[in-house]
Structure formats: C-alpha cells, structure tokens
Amino acid sequence: MELSQLKAAAQREIDQLADLLIVTSDWMADNPEIGLQEYRASARLCDILGEFGADVERGIAGMPTAFAARLPGGTPGPQVAIVAEYDALPEVGHGCGHNIIATAALGASLALARIGKHLPGSVLLIGTPAEESTVPNAGGKIPILRHGYFQGMDAAIMIHPLAEDGVALESSLVAHGLDFSFHGHSAHAAANPHEGINALDAVIVMFSSIGLLRQQIRPDARIHGIITHGGTAPNVIPDYTACRFRVRAADPAYARDLVQRVVTCAEAGAMASGARMEWHEYMPPYLNMIPSHSIGAVFKANMAALGRPIAERKDQDSGGGSTDFGNVSHHIPVSCAYLKICEPEAGWHTREVANATRSAAGHAAILDGAKVLAMTALDILFDASLRERAAREHAEAMANDDE
C-alpha cells in the first residue's frame, strides 16, 4: 500500500474508534488523577492497548503508572515514539487537557496497530506520568529517558490541546522546582510572642524579596510560588512553614543563576526572622525544548489536510511554559502539534479548559489529534530523507544549544 492509502486507512480506523476514544477521554475528565497517582487512567489505557494486540509493559522506569506499548505488526527499521500524558491538576482536574493527549495518542496507536503489517518500521506508545509539576519527582519522561525507552527512536511526537491550532516551533522554558522549609520556635502569639521565632515571617520576607527581584530579571524568566504550610493557628507563633517555587528561564545557565538568587531570598528571610532554612529541588529540572522544524512542517501539512490549516503567524510559541518533553528533545528529534478546544478567554489550567475537553471541540481534537499523529508517524517511517533532515537539524540545534 502507498503512503497516501495508509494515511487514509488510518483515518478510517480512527473514525471507527471514535466512540471508544471519546468515552475514554470523558471518563478521564470525570475521574482526574494527579501525577504518579494515575492508576486508573494508566490501567484503562493499557487494558485497551492489550485488547488490540499490543505488547504492553507496565510500571516501567520504576513508576507504577508509566508504560510502554509495542504495537503489533511492523518490521525492523525506523522507529517512532508516540507520547501520551494523562495526569491532572489538583482541584482543577484536566485543566491542561491531558485526557485528550492520552486518547489521541491511543487512537493513533490503535489505528497504526490495525495497519501494522504494512509498516516499514515500528511504533512505540510511551505512557508518561506526572508532566505537571504538582508532585515530588514529577517529570515522568525523565526516568523513562534514563531507562532507555527513547533510545534508538528516530523521533518522538505528541499533540496538546490549546486555545488555537499550531505547531511548536519555538523553545520552551527551562524549569526548576524548589521546596523551602523554615524552622522557628513556637510561642503564644498574645502572651509571650517575644519568646518565639516566627517561621512565617521568614516566608513573608522571602516572598517580598522575590517580588522585588522580579523587576531585575530578564523578560523570558518566571518565578512563581505558593505557601504550602503557613502555620497551625493564629494565636500560635508558627515554628514551621514551607513554600514551593518554580523558577523558569530560556536557557539552563540563567535558570541555575536564578535558582541561587531565589535561595538567597530565602536565606534573607531566615536571617531576618532568626529561623533556620532548608531547601531542595523536589523534581528534576525540565530542559528547554528543541523542536524539530522538519517534523513540524510535516505536522503542519497533515493538519492542513485535516482541515486545520495553520497560518505562519499562528505557529505556536511555547516559550511561556515548560515540559519534560524538552528533556527528550535533547536526545532525539521531537515535535508537538496543538489543537484548539476553546477560546483564549478560558485561560489555561482552569476548570473552563477541563470542561472544554468534554465539548464538541474537545472531542474533535481527540480524533483530529489521533489522525495527525498517525499520519505524521507514517511520514517519518516511510520518508528516509525526512528522518535524515530531522537528525541533521537536531545535531545542529544541540551544538548551538551547548554553546
């Protein structure tokens, strides 16, 4: 079968799977699970893959909710990884649309499994937990990468819902996750406050110092945090407080410099209050993403073929966010396509976005996302020149990034 025939066949298979994919995505929306706790979502995805003949390895890289599914069919040759995410946000639920990411990846994989005997290579679906930086040791792609599951892949591809259609052609931000704790001495806040050491004062000084620091950082950088423990009662001088920060910047060196400046702000809070401060990185750093323009162009062409043309001005600048997909991009060519599910007014990481995943636009993004993934995977498997361009471009980009 010719490539165009296989693309058409994959699209037909996905249309036949529409009910299964939509029901699965809506079920995930109704049953959100945060990072490293996606037990039901991971099990449901793996069970479906097993029913379609995939060889599913569960609990990879030391994470119970991670998996790798080798699709039936295919031959020795080029290899493509399709990436699934399925963790939700606390309280918000699937306000980043990872249920759509997961089911689009599932749909593409099932369609490719059904035409697997015609493939000149193989496809691996990799289930990656905890992309959202909401839990300690988030960033499931990083241990999966370390355990070699992306090794030998010619490319890794994924889709992401958004407020507009696009293809990631810009870098993402490097991101560090920092936990701080302050230890003071409790006392009665009315009777003898002078005998206490107020650990909350240390946090407040730290936040104030970081607020002033923001004026002096580069426009590409971001520092944002929350108080995770502020004390126990208003009439007790807090002897323990804690906070969590994310520090982001466009390049790794500047991000590391900002980490040290944030730590200095914490030290200032401890010094001013008399508290003792401890800190650590609660998750591995997310590296900047180096997107493949060669594969991105193929993504764009396939999006247009599905009736989602992308104007040049709408190539998505992903510079405001961070992802552990960036870590993968430092090893192999990667690309991500974006599919519109809502208007910009919905914001992002919101309940409005979570609701949009259940909408007609959300359901259309699942099916179109599955199709564009399957079509792009086929292009990579069949087109040796595309693989060569992507590899050459990746090597050049990595050389420039190292500089």
Nearest-angstrom CA–CA distance, 97 and 38: 14
Retrieve residue 279's tokens: 């800190």
Retrieve residue 347's tokens: 């914001």
CA atoms within 13 A on the CB side of 299: 30
Alpha carbon 360 to chain centroid, angstroms:
24
Domains of the chain: 3-171+288-402 (3.40.630.10), 174-286 (3.30.70.360)
Side chain identity, residue 189: A
Which runs of E-coded beta strand occur in 302-388?
A: 334-340
Nearest-angstrom CA–CA distance, 398 and 229: 41
DSSP states of 248-273? EESSHHHHHHHHHHHHHHHHHHHHHH
Retrieve residue 400's tokens: 């420039």
Q: What is the pLDDT along the chain (403 residues), one digit of tens a residue?
A: 899 999 999 999 999 999 999 999 999 999 999 999 999 999 999 999 999 999 999 999 999 999 999 998 878 899 999 999 999 999 999 999 999 999 999 999 999 999 999 999 999 999 999 999 899 999 999 999 999 999 999 999 999 999 999 999 999 999 999 999 999 999 999 999 999 999 999 999 999 999 999 999 999 999 999 999 999 999 999 999 999 999 999 989 999 999 999 999 999 999 999 999 999 999 999 999 999 999 999 999 999 999 999 876 544 444 468 999 999 999 999 999 999 999 999 999 999 999 999 999 999 999 999 999 999 999 999 999 999 999 999 999 999 865 5
Nearest-angstrom CA–CA distance, 48 and 387: 30
What is the b/e burial string over 213-237, where b = at least 16 CB atoms within 10 angstroms of the residue's CB?
beeebeebbbbebebebebeeeeeb
- Residue 282: phi and psi, rounded to 5, are -85, -5
Q: Pick the closest to residue 296 from 316, 278, 280 (CA basis).
A: 316
Retrieve residue 129's tokens: 């937990």
Looking at 240-350, list the stretches that DSSP marks H as alpha helix, in order from N- to C-terminal side: 252-273, 293-305, 325-329
The pTM score is 0.94
